[in-house]
Structure 1
Amino acid sequence: MVGVNRDIFARHADGTRVERVADIIRRRAAATPSLVAVVEPHRSTTFGELDERSSRVAQALLALGVGPGDRVAYIGANAPEFLEVLYGAAKAGAIATAVNNRLAPPEIAAILTDAEPAVLVVDQPSLVPPAHGVPHVVTTGPGYEAWLSAADTADPLVPVAPGDTAVIFYTSGTTGRPKGIMLSGDNLGQALATMHYDMELTTTSVAMAPIPYFHISGLGLALVANLNGASLLLQTASGPDELMTLLSARRVSHAAVVPTILQTLLNLPRSRETDWSALRYLVYGAMPIPLPVIRAATDVFGCQFLQSYGLTESTGGVTVLWPQDHLPPPGKERRLRSVGRPMPGVEVRVVDPVTLQDLPAGERGEVMIGGGHVMRGYWRNPEATAATVVDGWVRTGDGGSFDEDGYLYLHDRIKDMIVSGGENVYPAEVESVLTGHPDLAEVAVVGVASARWGESPVAVVVPRAGREPDEAEVIAWCRERLAHFKCPVAVHVVEALPRNASGKLLKHALRATYARS
């Protein structure tokens, strides 16, 4: 077990600790009402305005009969209205429910049926499925503005306990029917602490993340920006070149990116001529960045890098690969393949997935997470909660191991492990080798049925620009570096790997597609 379960909370400008969602905007507006909270291409919203409009939302909800514990759902793109509904629901004692606006109507209908919201706020009427069953639907724009203008501006100050459910996020459904994850104000107050204390966000910072707010990492950045009085930039880029212009012209100081975008930006010639003086932090996740790329990015951008690992069930990130870890001392370069060490206040274990006994450093098992980040449970699903939260510890389903210095390395989902001819094959190990191939930009390895071996590894790859990978050559290249039973028996070239709206790789989709390879 690594990490210490300490009482660590993010704190408001007045020094009080963050325990309730509504207090984030209340106390920030009291401290800096005229500072800009949200920047869009054609408008901006101050903290004072966001506070007042969220109070109007709260009063409008109360007028509709919404009470403590009722759900208020939002379906739409990142916008100030999402934050208004989030804070407004919190002020009314209700539970904000974030729904993925990229889902198909039947999927949205299933979530609405499960959550049973009293009110649905949506930015496009087409997102509202037929026979949705929601008593009140409000569409952003004129109808939403009329709804707010008829409401009082006073904060209703409905009492809320720190341990009450504040928000519900729905799982991506990669393993079956989406489940509602209940997070409390306490959960969020502790989860925001690391970003709050260690990312140097101030009232002069500009934060940008093209991550949907229905994803915990997207909401986390928005909340910590609000908490610290930073401006939140809500502007999207159509491609890497436009993204580069946006980051520089808007003087973005804190940005969240995926590693492949980072490499793409570096490949643009003008990246070395662009003014990056405002950029202080680039935050990434999902996959490691090779040391040569980190070194090149450090030279070009001149900023610090931070990686985090976590789940919605753990209220987001629980480990951090700190900036100093990104330029490791000689002999410690492998740390860049890790997801860092546990955050302060978080306990992380690697256990035998059957006995749940702790394993020593170097041995692979299942990652478990404890501490104040652990969700309250799954909405109306005690059976799934009991299977996932054991004695206060979240079973992540992720395979991992610690090294002797306490760095955590991920080795696939437990269920993604391939058993080929009685041998365990960890896809992440094979993917790590294949991503070093000069023709490959992205790699995913899955197991498919084999009459002879039970299962065999198959690689699905995205080529680098201008490259045409040869299947036989890629397999031979892998066999030079790994035991043959670990190497793919087939290589499939695709334009893009399937991902959900949160960017999570959909390996079950790959297994279904290539089941008969």
Structure 2
Amino acid sequence: MALSNANFSEAAQQVTYRNGPRPMHDYLLLNASEAPDQAAYIFYGREVTWGELAESTRRLAGFLRASGIGKGDHVGLYLQNCPQYVIAHYAIQMLGAVITPLNPQYKAAEVEYQLNNAEARAVICGTDLYPMVDAVRTRLDNLALVVTTRYADYLPHEPTLPVPEDMAGAQATPEGTTDLVVAIEQSRPIDKPESVDFENDIALMTFTSGTTGRPKGAMLPVGAATFKTAALFQANGLDQATTSLAIAPFCHIAGMCLGVYAGVYGRWTTVILPRFDPETTVKAIETYKVDMWYSIAPMNRAILGLPDIQSRNLTSLRFNPATSFGIPVTESLSDEWKKLTGCQMHEASYGLSETHTMDTYMPRDAIRWGSCGKPMPGNDIRIINLKTGEEQPAGESGEIIVGNPYVFKGYWQRLDATDETLRNGWVYTGDVGYFDDDHYLFFTGRIKEMIKSSGYSVFPEDVEALMLNHPAIAQSAAVGVPDENRGESVKLFVVLKPDYEGRITEQEIIDWAKENMAAYKYPRYVEFRDSLPATGAGKVLRRLLKED
């Protein structure tokens, strides 16, 4: 049974906005008008003010427009966390173009797949990552423009925090690319952003495995970011007097929400770090009196384990939503963290790419341990019976479905997958859970076979397709296995081609995978098999492999 989208229209009206339902780049320009000299982002001590951020964004938008990028065009964003990411993100959206973020851990084959699948006309990437693009550039059918940038261009002369070695290098601009800083300096700023339809025009195409197959581009409307960010502020009582720390990858929907959107919506100052290091994180919190940090539980645990951590001052923290990956967010861990910082960490939220995440929030004055919290304002969540589709009462498990006016509009050029997941405005998540009597959501499992590794979604078919590039592999099947550090790791069952039997080891397969796919995705375990269990139609039965 497909529920009517009219059922959640009343709930959607509950969201209130700081300055109305407008695109996020309008909030950026508003900040520049109201507080041009306030620090918007801090990168190892380099302050980028709202005035500079807005001017650089408008100039980069001017360059992209002059280069032929316009409304509806797809542009890849392939960068580590840095100020240039934010500038590029909003420059693309000011043109009414569509961002498709790529994980900086991606290797060449993964870059080729996503840029070709998205039919990207341009890509903006770090000079450290350009070799992956260059390796496949001749096979990227639609790519007409490549912009590169050096992270060092936004570093101060005297950094306030330890800078990773790979961020400080002064690489030359690769041949056949345009330097981002030069493009900003030499271009005229656009007069005003492109007019967009808040509810229907697409602003973001984030690749996700969804419920089936290799990653697909989930098309999110302009209004999704503002809607969910406004709900975040409303539910948690957040204000503008905030300094946040952004470590979660901006390419990931959660990191994007907290690192790219929240600071702009709330006119926060955001301290950017491209990766987690316990000592650097502690120093950042101390130096900048950080009061908001979205973390994952292993980060908090690593900080608690630092020598002499009790002598450090982290008492500026007042809001620390955290996600359970590898280590759950438990009451005991939270109490230990509160004893150190004075801040009660708690489970962040339930969400997925197709809904622009942040579908729930945890009431800070009524934490329910083990739950995902309550539905965000304006966000309708139902539990339906897996067989009948009828809504389940409290305490009864079923499929979690999510509805609001700004869920994704479908998968790019995948009508079949869209019809399976999006029905009358409701996203059928493929996840199983239940509500308790107080309407706290509890997640209990997944219908789909997606693997959750280090906070990332890994779909078996994606790993298997990439592994077919290995000359020795005739067939493979990937499953998730428990991992106390990553939550899950990938295990690969492999059928070798006859010529390679006895001539190659499991470790050699793992080493090859490590070189050819992202760190969170490559298999940590390989087992050779003579054959794989399959249905009569030839579909591999991963469930049987997982049960072995």
1:147 aligned onto 2:183: yes
Q: Specify every segment of 5 or more residues in structure 2 that has no aligned partner in the other structure, as ranges.
A: 151-172, 174-178, 456-478, 487-513, 528-541
| Pick aligned residue for 1:357 from 370, 375, 390 | 390
The one-letter code sitting in structure 1 at the alignment partner of 2:12 is R
| Pick aligned residue for 2:484 from 462, 484, 500 | 462
Q: Report how far residue 302 of structure 1 moved.
A: 0.8
| Partner in structure 1 of residue 465 of structure 2 | none
Q: Report how far residue 55 of structure 1 moved.
A: 0.7
Percent identical: 27
| Pick aligned residue for 2:424 from 391, 413, 435 | 391
| Partner in structure 2 of residue 71 of structure 1 | 74
Distance 2:241 2:87 in 1: 22
Report Cα offsets for 1:408-431 as digits up to 9, x if no partner. 1111102469xxxxxxxxx99xxx
| Partner in structure 1 of residue 244 of structure 2 | 207
The one-letter code sitting in structure 2 at the alignment partner of 1:148 is I
| Pick aligned residue for 2:231 from 194, 200, 203 | 194
Superposed, 1:123-142 pairs within 5 Å as 123-124=126-127, 125-128=130-133, 129-131=136-138, 132-133=140-141, 134-141=143-150
| Partner in structure 1 of residue 500 of structure 2 | none
SS in 1 for 2:372: coil
1:248 aligned onto 2:286: yes
| Pick aligned residue for 2:309 from 247, 271, 276 | 271
SS in 2 for 1:281: coil
Q: Report how far residue 42 of structure 1 moved.
A: 4.7
Superposed, 1:199-238 pairs within 5 Å as 199=236, 201-221=238-258, 222-236=260-274
Distance 2:252 2:340 in 1: 30
| Partner in structure 1 of residue 113 of structure 2 | 110
Does the CA-based 8 Å contact 2:374-2:440 persist in structure 1? yes
| Partner in structure 2 of residue 495 of structure 1 | none
The one-letter code sitting in structure 2 at the alignment partner of 1:162 is F
Does the CA-based 8 Å contact 2:334-2:344 persist in structure 1? no
The one-letter code sitting in structure 2 at the alignment partner of 1:136 is L
Report Cα offsets for 1:107-148 as digits up to 9, x if no partner. 111111111122211112213133223111111146222222
Distance 2:366 2:341 in 1: 17
| Pick aligned residue for 1:11 from 7, 13, 17 | 17
| Partner in structure 2 of residue 492 of structure 1 | none
Distance 2:485 2:257 in 1: 33
Change in Cα spacing, 1:95 to 1:461, as seen in structure 2 (3 Å) is closer
| Pick aligned residue for 2:26 from 23, 26, 29 | 23
| Partner in structure 1 of residue 220 of structure 2 | 183
| Partner in structure 2 of residue 366 of structure 1 | 399
The one-letter code sitting in structure 2 at the alignment partner of 1:267 is G
Q: Report how far residue 49 of structure 1 moved.
A: 0.8
Structure-1-length-normalised TM-score: 0.77
The one-letter code sitting in structure 1 at the alignment partner of 2:137 is P
Q: Report how far residue 397 of structure 1 moved.
A: 0.8
Superposed, 1:46-85 pairs within 5 Å as 46-85=49-88
Distance 1:349 1:507 in 2: 36
Report Cα offsets for 1:186-214 as digits up to 9, x if no partner. 21221112322344554442111311111
* Worse-superposed segment, 204-213 or 44-53: 204-213
Distance 1:168 1:376 in 2: 10
Change in Cα spacing, 1:325 to 1:55, as seen in structure 2 (3 Å) is same
Q: CA RMSD in A?
A: 3.3
Does the CA-based 8 Å contact 1:10-1:189 persist in structure 2? no
Does the CA-based 8 Å contact 1:10-1:192 persist in structure 2? no
Distance 2:485 2:264 in 1: 40
Distance 1:316 1:310 in 2: 4
Report Cα offsets for 1:253-282 as digits up to 9, x if no partner. 111111122233233353332212311111
Distance 1:192 1:506 in 2: 35
Q: Specify every segment of 5 or more residues in structure 1 that has no aligned partner in the other structure, as ranges.
A: 327-334, 418-426, 429-441, 443-456, 465-497
Change in Cα spacing, 1:178 to 1:278, as seen in structure 2 (3 Å) is same
* Worse-superposed segment, 172-181 or 119-128: 172-181
Distance 2:378 2:525 in 1: 34
Does the CA-based 8 Å contact 2:231-2:376 persist in structure 1? yes
| Partner in structure 2 of residue 309 of structure 1 | 350
Number of positions where the alignment pairs a residue of Structure 1 with one of Structure 2: 436
Does the CA-based 8 Å contact 1:58-1:155 persist in structure 2? no
Structure-2-length-normalised TM-score: 0.72
Distance 2:244 2:209 in 1: 25
The one-letter code sitting in structure 2 at the alignment partner of 1:366 is E
The one-letter code sitting in structure 1 at the alignment partner of 2:261 is L
Change in Cα spacing, 1:145 to 1:260, as seen in structure 2 (3 Å) is closer
Superposed, 1:28-39 pairs within 5 Å as 28-39=31-42
